[in-house]
Amino acid sequence: MLRSERMLAKYPFIAAARDYLARRGISIDELGSERFGRDVERALSRIAEALERGEEAVIGLHQDEEVEVLSFAIALLLVASIGDNWLARRWALAESLRCGRFLEEEVPEVVAELLKSELGIKVEPSPPTESELGAYKVWVPHYLALTARIDSLEWKLVNRVVRKGWVYVTPKELARVAVEAIQKRIMSRYEDARGTPLPDSLSTVAKRIREMLAVKRSYEAEVGQVSEEYWPPCMAKIKKELLAGLGVGHFANFALAAFMLTAGYTQEQVLAMYSQRSDFNEKIARYQTEHIAGQRGSRVKYTPPSCSTMKTHGLCVEDGRLCPGIKNPIQYYRREARRAALRKKREQKSGGEEGREGGGGFLATST
């Protein structure tokens, strides 16, 4: 069922697509040749669309199924040769969302087989007697693993129908869960492909992608300026996770933005931080940042959540052990900054006194 060219074109990450290419005996060195011009062009458009629009990218389905399979492999090779994790995550996200949209349209048997055999997700179409609970059921441990990064309440297990170790989901929800797994699979293919030498004939295409990437990541310099010397452990942790490309929930994003703006960082620096997300959308992020800064909507400037709210959301580090007496992350930041300023002052003072003593000694000796 998964071996038809149509299926490979829709889901080019699957093992059968690799077998298909292997059977055709195409070597990597040939890929830049004129014969594969259309495939390379399509590969470039897949990456460019992902780079430009992130999770709103529309990669679509090329009418020539062979082009579709080959262009995915070329795109993977190109992204791996560039080796930028942010680009890789953004491309993998766009590709997995594309697959998710196709999955929503498939018959239940195809969806279940693809998820089971290719992604190792234990899922079954619900029997007719249980179909009113949800068209599919997912095994609880797999459901939990795949929804861990989704922080909306409706996904929490307590809000789901669970029976005998299975969670019931709609086709749309199952596609959403599958997107997480497909993104992981594409990222692992990316890791495997890293270090594969790119044929010279593709280096011009890689150069174009690097140029597009540089324009898109013009925020990079700003991120470098954001020092976390005085940051509380919770905010430093959120930042670290963002930079590592881990999924950071909406509340953590909000807390970080409100913290940075209150601490005096510029909106551009906050945007630079958001830009580390693979689903970064500058327009939306700018709107949200302006909203938190009190320049939109209710015009209320948001302050960071209190430590107790951070704890409720599981964002406090070591239950506050590292921050005795602190009630709000901004209080930690200000206290540390004040202490550092005092230390600096004292050092300058003692340095000056030492200088005077030394000077006196010199003068004394010289007389």
**Residue ranges that bind ligand SF4, judged by CB under 6 A:** 232-234, 307, 310, 316-317, 320, 323, 326, 329, 332
Record the tokens describing residue 86, joined without a space. Answer: 């942010």
* Shortest Å, Cβ 326 to ligand SF4: 5
Q: What type of residue sits at position 348?
A: Q
| Cβ proximity to ligand SF4, 238 vs 270, nearer residue | 238
* Shortest Å, Cβ 340 to ligand SF4: 17
Find the distance separating the first CA and the last CA of the chain, reported in whole Å: 100
* Shortest Å, Cβ 306 to ligand SF4: 8
| Cβ proximity to ligand SF4, 76 vs 238, nearer residue | 238
Residue 180 vs residues 73, 146, 174, 193: alpha-carbon distances, Å: 20, 6, 10, 20
* Shortest Å, Cβ 359 to ligand SF4: 44
| Cβ proximity to ligand SF4, 13 vs 332, nearer residue | 332
Q: How far apart are CA 235 and CA 227, in angstroms?
A: 12
| Cβ proximity to ligand SF4, 200 vs 318, nearer residue | 318
| Cβ proximity to ligand SF4, 50 vs 234, nearer residue | 234
In terms of Cβ atoms closer than 10 Å to its own Cβ (0-12, 13-18, 19+), residue 300 is exposed
Q: How far apart are CA 171 and CA 177, in angstroms?
A: 10
* Shortest Å, Cβ 285 to ligand SF4: 23
Side by side, the strands of the sheet bearing 162-163 are 123-125, 136-139, 166-169, 162-163
* Shortest Å, Cβ 255 to ligand SF4: 9
Residue 265, helix vs strand vs coil: coil
| Cβ proximity to ligand SF4, 9 vs 307, nearer residue | 307
